[in-house]
Amino acid sequence: MCINTAIYLPWLAGQCLKNGVIIKRGVVTHVKDARLLHHSGRPADLIVNCTGLGASKLGGVQDKAVYPARGQIVVVRNDPKIMPSSSGTDDSPDEIIYAMHRAAGSSSDLSMFGSC
């Protein structure tokens, strides 16, 4: 699945607001701090941790196995009609290559990530 987050996340927030969800922003240094952000003022019953790279620094989580991947993106003009993926390249067994369609136009991104 390929999502253009610049388009999808505002749409998703709009759908949530349309359905009565109250969005509240805050700064937390520990995952337990998120309980206090509930709009009612009462502690939340459920916390969904989707911090991504922030998980390496968030108190109570501090997942040191999370690290940014450095890679290259090449835009090619042809349309492969598929979204291929391969875990591994000839360069190293811990590298990956994949291709995905761009949101606009007929070109594709060919992305290569590794443990650089």
Total-model pTM: 0.53
In this structure, what is the dihedral angle of CA atoms 105, 107, 103, 87, given to the nearest 10 degrees? 170
pLDDT per position as a tens digit, 52-71: 777 888 888 888 887 776 66
Does a structural domain hold residue 108? yes
Q: Which two tokens stand for residue 78?
A: 């042809």
Structural domain of 95: 70-114
Structural domain count, the chain: 2
Same domain? 9 vs 43: yes
Does a structural domain hold residue 39? yes
Same domain? 52 vs 76: no
Residue that wins the pLDDT comparison between 38 and 14 = 14
